[in-house]
Chain A
Amino acid sequence: GQNIDQPTEMTATEGAIVQINCTYQTSGFNGLFWYQQHAGEAPTFLSYNVLDGLEEKGRFSSFLSRSKGYSYLLLKELQMKDSASYLCAVRDSNYQLIWGAGTKLIIKP
């Protein structure tokens, strides 16, 4: 079966750096996405990786290793507003999105 694994919850300190990991086993691979979802709100797009390596976008970076079935989202200079759930999703060979359950990130002052 297809599977996306990410930690259920993480805690970090304001101003620090946090890395959220995502491992996947899917039928084929056509890209990996990270979305941010604040409590009670809609998911919003953060990043897209289709080739191996690091994609940087301001305070957020996303890394992909297709051979290891692994990605991470790196958040720098954490702010209280970064408290949210972070969803990892992989597009499989049928171009269907397979979603992880999300990682709830708690930022403490």
Chain B
Amino acid sequence: TAGITQAPTSQILAAGRSMTLRCTQDMRHNAMYWYRQDLGLGLRLIHYSNTAGTTGKGEVPDGYSVSRANTDDFPLTLASAVPSQTSVYFCASSDGTGGSGANVLTFGAGSRLTVL
């Protein structure tokens, strides 16, 4: 089934450790996004990439980094995890970057990260 694959599904991580959340899409979408979802808050954009080779900062980028070496993969790295990064992380993609079309997002199943 075409879509977005995220790994791991869940992870418990000690504070100070590094972690990379993986995201792969097979829809050949140009744009990819990383969001975090916390109880009582809307989805918040961490980083995005409009096309392979480019990345940009979202609303809450501090403590996170991304790379976009090719169209399909968009990993999110936490260099030194802190408890406030405990959250559910969603990777998403779209075939455009805005404009006049709907530019609908397709989401992965999410990665639940707990930082102790």
Binding site for B on A (CB under 8 A): 4, 8, 30-31, 33, 35, 40-45, 48, 50, 87, 89, 91, 95-102
CB within 8 Å: A-B pair count: 49
Min C-beta distance of B47 to chain A, whole Å: 12
Most buried by A among B43, B45, B102: B43
Chain B interface, number of residues (Cβ within 8 angstroms)? 20
Given A4-B42, A97-B45, A99-B43, decide whether A44 and B98 contact each other with a Cβ distance below 8 A.
Answer: no
Structural contact, B104 and A45, CB atoms closer than 8 A: yes
Which chain B residues numbered 80 to 110 have a C-beta less than 8 Å away from chain A? 90, 97-99, 102-110
Min C-beta distance of A36 to chain B, whole Å: 11
How far, in angstroms, from A99 to B106 measured CA to CA in the complex?
A: 15
Which residues does chain B contribute within 8 Å of A101, judged by CB atoms? 40-42
Structural contact, B42 and A102, CB atoms closer than 8 A: yes
Structural contact, B109 and A100, CB atoms closer than 8 A: no
Residue in contact with A99 in the complex, picked from B42, B108, B109, B110, CB distance below 8 Å: B42
How far, in angstroms, from A91 to B107 measured CA to CA in the complex?
A: 17
Residue in contact with A48 in the complex, picked from B43, B98, B104, B107, CB distance below 8 Å: B104
Which residues does chain B contribute within 8 Å of A95, judged by CB atoms? 97-99
Q: Which 7 A-B pairs have the closest CB atoms?
A: A95-B98, A99-B42, A42-B107, A48-B102, A99-B43, A45-B104, A101-B42
